[in-house]
Amino acid sequence: MKPSPEIAIIDANTLTCMGLRGLIERMMPMATVRTFNSFEQLVRDTPDMYFHYFISAQTLLEHSAFFIERKEKTIVLTNGTAGTPQTSHFHTLNIYQSEDSMVRALLQLQQHAHAHGRHLPQNMPRPYMTNTSPGDPNGLSTREIEVLTLIVRGLTNKEIADRLCISTTTVISHRKNIMEKLNVRSVSGLTIYAVMNGYIEADRI
């Protein structure tokens, strides 16, 4: 059995670490996510074992030499303000945004950083690729998949109904069935599922 990829989050803010860890674990359930409140804690671990580093801007500032050598694996956490010369060569993630926006940003980062899944470890699913499996892993019908992709693109029930030439009531019924089959209760959860199963590219959400 291949080892799970490991991801490190280094930030002094415990709430930031916990929130980001939860999102990443939902997106990459096969990954092991570890949190560190300081770079020193990371160093006491095995710092080179990680597939990705999510780090605070302060951590980058204080330990730039380590992360510059690993810049393709490093994502700097920002507060949405303009970047600095230190962060200009790194992928960045604004952590001061809604959960839905954060999920979209993470999915887009994953897409761009891994060339549509081609650079992911062998034991991780290849997102953003056309789904060639004989059926949806959770039993979604072709119509439910159509509705799912339109939901994550931000269309309203009426807009979906008009697009698919069905009634709004039917759309609502499909939406309910999709959420029950996937055991998901949020648009961000549907977004993760749709992108990770290849039904839509992250740039289209």
The predicted-structure confidence for 108-161, as pLDDT tens digits, reads as follows: 887 665 544 444 444 444 444 344 345 788 889 999 999 999 999 999 999 999
Contacts of 18 (CB under 8 A, 6+ apart): 35
Percent of all residues in the chain with a pLDDT value above 90, rounded to a whole number: 46
Q: Which of 96, 125, 160 is the last residue of a domain?
A: 96
Residue 3 — very low, low, confident or very high, per pLDDT cuts 50/70/90? Answer: low
| 171, two tokens | 């759309």
* 118 found inside a domain: no
CATH of residue 59's domain is: 3.40.50.2300
pLDDT at position 21, please?
Answer: 92
Q: Is the pTM of this model over 0.85?
A: no
User: Is 147 found in the same domain as 66?
Assistant: no
Q: What is the mean pLDDT of residues 178-184?
A: 91
The alpha-helical segments, DSSP class H, found in the chain are 14-27, 39-44, 57-62, 64-68, 99-113, 142-152, 157-164, 168-182, 187-196
Confidence band of 4 (pLDDT split at 50, 70, 90): confident
Considering the domain architecture, whether residues 90 and 146 belong to the same structural domain is answered as no
Q: Are residues 77 and 159 in the same domain?
A: no
Range with lowest mean pLDDT among 33-47, 58-72, 112-126, 176-190: 112-126
Residue among 83, 94, 95, 92 nearest 16 (CA): 95
Among 41, 63, 96, which residue terminates a domain?
Answer: 96
What mean pLDDT do residues 39-59 have? 92
What pLDDT, on the 0 to 100 scale, is given for residue 54?
95
Classify residue 187: in a domain, yes or no. Answer: yes
Give the pLDDT of residue 137.
82
Residue 32 falls inside a structural domain: yes
Instruction: Write the secondary structure of 4-17 as one string of H (helix), E (strand) and C (coil).
Output: CCEEEEECCCHHHH
Number of domains in the chain: 2
Give yes or no: residues 92 and 165 share one domain.
no
80: pLDDT strictly greater than 90: no
The count of C-alpha atoms lying within 13 angstroms of the C-alpha of 3, restricted to the half-sphere facing its C-beta, is 7
Residue 135 domain-assigned? no
Q: Does residue 182 lie in a domain region? A: yes
Q: Do 19 and 76 share a domain, yes or no?
A: yes
Q: Are residues 76 and 12 in the same domain?
A: yes
- Does residue 66 fall inside a structural domain? yes
Q: Which domain holds residue 197?
A: 142-204
Which tokens belong to 190? 């549907």
For residues 88 and 20, state if they share a domain.
yes
Give the model's confidence band at 100: pLDDT under 50 very low, under 70 low, under 90 confident, else very high.
confident
Residue 132 within a domain: no
With cut-offs at 50, 70 and 90, classify the pLDDT of residue 82. low
CATH number of 179's domain: 1.10.10.10
